Amino acid sequence: MKLVVALGGNALQAANKPATAQAQLGTVKATVVHLADLIASGHQIVIVHGNGPQVGRLVLQNEYAKPVTPPMPFDVCGAMSQGMIGYHIQQALQEELHKRHIHKPVVTLLTQVVVDPEDEGFRNPTKPIGPFYTKEEAEILQNEQGYVLREDAGRGYRRVVASPAPKRIVELETVQKLVSQDHVVITVGGGGIPVIEAEDQMLEGIAAVIDKDLAAERLAEDLRADGLLILTAVEKVALDYGKPEQRNLDRLTVENAQQYIEDGQFADGSMLPKVRAGVKFVTSQPGRLAIITSLEKAGEALTGTSGTRIVP
């Protein structure tokens, strides 16, 4: 199958390791083993990744370095994170494929994604970026820096920023050509560099982080992919997540998904965009496959023995 694979933050940066380039590369080297398994099984994959922790840390670096060097704007930090993460995945995957005697070019493409400047996401920030903070640390940042911070799935508090919906992938034609030539393409990293279309049809960067799952869905539709594989830290979508009555789901119908969304079962900036992306993809055309699962269970999920499969 032609698959768009969306990698979550756990595939790029381990929670129990330092946030260094060396530690990230080590985590990515473990991640690409599972991606190489998909390729070795005959699937054609296009890779999309998140950038929440990384772009948040780049913004922090910029702010702390103001007395020394001018800070880069938010969209530029997004581009920097896209290049950095893409480089790590590209290098590690090329090495893993070489070990297996699989000869496929792997390429990272810096990708811009058009958003609507009037999108509701700019009025209601939901996308977590950067490190986790305690409640006390979060209150200090809110008071001193004016950040918006929210509790993130019981793991602490994180800064949240605008997360507008993706409208158009600017470099889509280039991605299509590379895929048609059997390249493994790493693209729309971090959801893409957010840009708006000015009156003269020129593009301008804007401060936001596009959700990578929704951007991956947009890409999967545009590439006419067979499947959208959203890889995260958990094996299955769950109801009442983290509570004693938690229930894991093997299948999730579109109708049930809509009801669970209305009931507030899925957290903003976490499982909610994943479910929405899966629903949008399977309803875009009959026969399309959307699965949410963990990185380690990716292969099993495609055979139907793991993960949550979203069905019409």
Mean pLDDT, consecutive 10-residue stretches, the chain (312 aa), reads 90 80 91 97 97 86 88 92 96 97 97 96 84 84 81 80 94 98 97 91 91 97 98 94 94 96 89 96 95 95 96 92
Which among 51, 56, 212, 278 is annotated as catalytic?
212
Rounded to 10 deg, the angle between the 74-99 and 21-40 helix axes is: 50
Spacing of C-alpha 134 from chain mean position: 24
Helix (H, G, I), strand (E, B) or coil at 229: strand
Strand locations in the chain, DSSP E? Answer: 2-7, 44-49, 106-108, 112-114, 127-133, 149-151, 157-161, 168-169, 184-186, 193-197, 203-205, 227-232, 238-239, 247-248, 251-253, 289-294, 308-311
Q: Verify whether residue 52 is a known catalytic residue.
A: no
Q: How many residues does the chain have?
A: 312
- In angstroms and rounded to an integer, the radius of gyration of the C-alpha atoms of the chain is 19
| The pTM of the whole model exceeds 0.75 | yes
pLDDT value at position 59?
A: 84
Q: Verify whether residue 274 is a known catalytic residue.
A: yes
Which among 50, 62, 274, 307 is annotated as catalytic?
274
Q: Verify whether residue 264 is a known catalytic residue.
A: no
Q: Verify whether residue 191 is a known catalytic residue.
A: no
Q: Are 97 and 104 in contact (CB under 8 A)?
A: yes
pLDDT value at position 206?
A: 93
CB-based contacts of 48: which residues, under 8 Å, 6+ apart?
Answer: 4, 5, 6, 7, 186, 187, 188, 189, 191, 212, 215, 216, 219
pLDDT value at position 268?
A: 80
Q: Verify whether residue 177 is a known catalytic residue.
A: no
Distances (CA, A) of 279 to 140, 204, 231: 38, 30, 15
pLDDT value at position 86?
A: 96
